[in-house]
Each structure stands twice: as structure tokens, then as C-alpha cells.
Structure 1
Amino acid sequence: MPVDRDAGRFLYALVRSRGGRLVVEFGTSFGISAIHIAAALRDLGEGRLITTELNASKAATARKNLADAGLAGLVEVREGDALETLADLPDAVDILFLDGWKDLALPVLKLVEPRLRPGALVIADDTDKFESVMRPYLDYVRAPGSGYVSVRVPIGDGIELSVRTP
């Protein structure tokens, strides 16, 4: 399920406002959200996107779509299980976009969490549509003392925007 136009514009705006040096995406699919993120990085004149996709044919399509958009040079597409492909991130993470299998949102967050800069944005997609599956993730980022300030954003199938507090 690709992000819709409003969610893509929201991602673009968040990346532009945050000035992310490193953006990480879990769940590339065909690269639609990656195009929005990479376009924002291009327009900022800095940063890169590391994205991961389990399905080899989807990863190949994402690479082609990014190349066709002229954005391939800003994006590293990692193919395989996100709990493995995101285990060796090279830098501190400014923005994490969670759009893969919903039951893996919390495990991926916990994997990347030590790399999140203070003030980093964590954006989870489809939180309304898959609320029951996303419940452990939502409870985690919304809990007092969690290290996040979090809010539901009524865009698309629901987005949870969380900010990593210092």
C-alpha cells in the first residue's frame, strides 16, 4: 500500500523542516514514499535515505522508480529482513519512517532507537487502519516517560508522529 498524496506531501514537509542528514525508512514497497523523502533531501541539498524492503521484486521496482525520478543517488535500498538490514546504520538518524509490516513497527523502532538523535522524528503510517496490530507500538510511544512526545495525525490511514525527547 503506497502512501497517498497527502501523506507523501506530509513526509516531504517533515523532511524539509527537520533537515535530515539521515532518514531511514522501513518498508519501501515500490518506492513512492521514498520518492517524496528523497525529493525533500534533494531540495534541501543534503542528506540521504536508507530504505529497506523484504520483497526482492518490490525492491527492484523501487530502485527503478527512484532512478526514473532522478533520485537514485540519494537513496540506498537494502533488500531483506529489516531487523537485519537496519542493524548496522552508519550514522545517527534524524527521521525514521515506519511503513512496513505493522507487527514489526515496535521491534524496528527499538532496533533503531539507540541511533535516534534528540529531536528525531519517528513517523508511523497506517496507524488507524491497523490500530489493533499497531497497539503495542502506539502504547510505547505514547507512554509517559517513554522518551517521545507523540500525536496522531489524521492523514491517509492515520499517521503517528513522535518526537524523540532529549
Structure 2
Amino acid sequence: MTQAVFHAFTDPRITAVLDDIARDARHDDDVMRRAYETAAAWPAPPTPEEAAELCAEAALPVHPQVGTLLYQLVRGARPQLVVEFGTSFGASTLYLAAAVRDNGTGRVVGSELHRGKARRAGAHLERAGLLDVVEIRTGDAREELSDLPGPIGLLLLDGWKELYLPVLRVVEPALADGALIVSDNLPMLPEEFVAYVREPANGYLSQRLPLGDGIELSVRTRPRPTGEGA
């Protein structure tokens, strides 16, 4: 049974674009199956660039439950800078940007490896009337997000799973104390990433939330200096 899409807001421009992305996503299973079959025949695992090309027609939108949480978190925390790794067609960006707009302050910086997807996301944001609060950087997120001035109040990780930890480490110096990190697709995440954010000594308080197919919600805390007593 097809579930009705719940939206966190009533702006018809935004809901229309989200509905269009949801319709595009109906073909995602076929696109991803072909991508996996193609990659399986290669002598080595695909690079992120190769994987992005194989999945260029997959919308891969954030689950509406997760999108609603993103909107809630941004509205509540009122971060001045929201950063997204893995923009794709821009569904999650719409939730983030709508919250920034409704707060009346802040901006969103997204990153997308595939240029075609970045252009498509930009068009979606323009249709929704949200492009003025968003910057989409195209290329390797480890480079594109390395010069953010911070402080980053919310970080969404929703791109190539093996890059979650490298991207987190790149932006870590710019994370605000108390910054929120939402990591989507928890069952697919590398064990080393989950272990990293669940280790208090690394400066995070983290737990699983049963939204969508599972997310990891982490809060950036100040690591205790070495040698400091309890």
C-alpha cells in the first residue's frame, strides 16, 4: 500500500516540488538495481564519482519522517549555518531551507558530487522559492566543505556512506558546541562511523532514532581534556 506523504508545512510551492521528487523516486529501485549489477561486474568497487554517475537518475529522497525531523530541529535550534552532505534532487534541502526561511535567519550549504543532480536540486529550490537561502557546492564534499567558517549548528549526512566519517572529520572543527548531526540510512552505515559518534571521548552524545529506515542523531559536546577528573 502506498503511504500518503506528510509534509511539515503547507506552502503549496514546496509540497508540489516534494510530490514531484517522490514521483521520480518511484523508479529508484530499478535505477539502484541496475547500478549494483553494473558495479558487481567491475574488477574493483566503484569510486564515489563512478557511483554517483551510476545513480544519477535516482532521486533518493529523505523519508518524510526524517524530513519532518530536520524541519523541527532547524526551527527549534535556529542555527545560523546548516550543512548538508548529499543533496541529490534536493528533497532534504527543501526541508532544511524551509525551516531556515521560516526562522527568518540562517543559510544552508549543501554539497553534491554529481553536477546534473546539483542542477536539478537548484531548479527544485528555485521552484519552491527557497533558492535564496541555499548554496549548493558541486564536487567532492571533503574539499567543498573544508573551508566553512562555522559555527555549524546542524549537519545532515546523507550521501555516500563510506564518506560519512571523512566528511564529519573535515567539518568537525567548524561544529558548534551543541551542534546536531543527523546521519541517515543507519543500517547502511560503516561500523567505524557509528562507533566514532557513539564514543563520548570523541565529543558526541549519540543514539539511534527509528525514523525512516533508521537515523543516528548525535549532539556535539566538548570532549573532556585528557587527565581531567570525573
Q: TM-score, normalised by structure 2?
A: 0.70
Question: Are the equivalent residues in 1 in contact too, given 2:150–2:176 (CA < 8 A)?
Answer: no
Residues in 2 aligned to 1:159 and 1:68: alpha-carbon distance in whole angstroms:
29
Give 5+ residue unaligned stretches, structure 1.
none
Following superposition of structure 1 onto structure 2, how do residues 39-50 of structure 1 map, counting pairs within 5 Å?
Answer: 39-50=98-109
Residues in 2 aligned to 1:47 and 1:157: alpha-carbon distance in whole angstroms:
29
2:200 alignment partner, SS class: coil
Question: Residue 62 of structure 2 corresponds to which residue in structure 1?
Answer: 3
Following superposition of structure 1 onto structure 2, how do residues 16-165 of structure 1 map, counting pairs within 5 Å?
Answer: 16-128=75-187, 130-131=188-189, 134-165=190-221
Give 5+ residue unaligned stretches, structure 2.
1-59, 223-230
Residues in 1 aligned to 2:138 and 2:213: alpha-carbon distance in whole angstroms:
26
- Count the aligned residue pairs: 163
Shift of 1:143: 1.2
Matching residue's letter, 1:55 = H
Residues in 1 aligned to 2:115 and 2:173: alpha-carbon distance in whole angstroms:
28
Residues in 2 aligned to 1:103 and 1:54: alpha-carbon distance in whole angstroms:
14
Deviation digits for residues 52-99 of structure 1, max 9, x if unmatched?
000010000000000000000000000001011001113311111000
Residues in 1 aligned to 2:120 and 2:97: alpha-carbon distance in whole angstroms:
16
Select the structure of larger CA radius of gyration. Answer: 2
1:145 alignment partner, SS class: helix
Residues in 2 aligned to 1:66 and 1:90: alpha-carbon distance in whole angstroms:
24
Residues in 1 aligned to 2:104 and 2:197: alpha-carbon distance in whole angstroms:
31
Question: Are the equivalent residues in 1 in contact too, given 2:84–2:108 (CA < 8 A)?
Answer: yes
Matching residue's letter, 1:115 = A
Deviation digits for residues 93-136 of structure 1, max 9, x if unmatched?
111100010000000000000000100001100012x04xx211
Runs of 4+ in 1 over 4 A off after TM superposition: none
Residues in 2 aligned to 1:16 and 1:107: alpha-carbon distance in whole angstroms:
28
1:122 alignment partner, SS class: strand
Matching residue's letter, 1:95 = L
Matching residue's letter, 2:165 = L
Residues in 2 aligned to 1:117 and 1:9: alpha-carbon distance in whole angstroms:
22
Matching residue's letter, 1:16 = R
Fraction of identical pairs, as percent: 52
Higher strand share: 1
| RMSD after superposition | 0.8
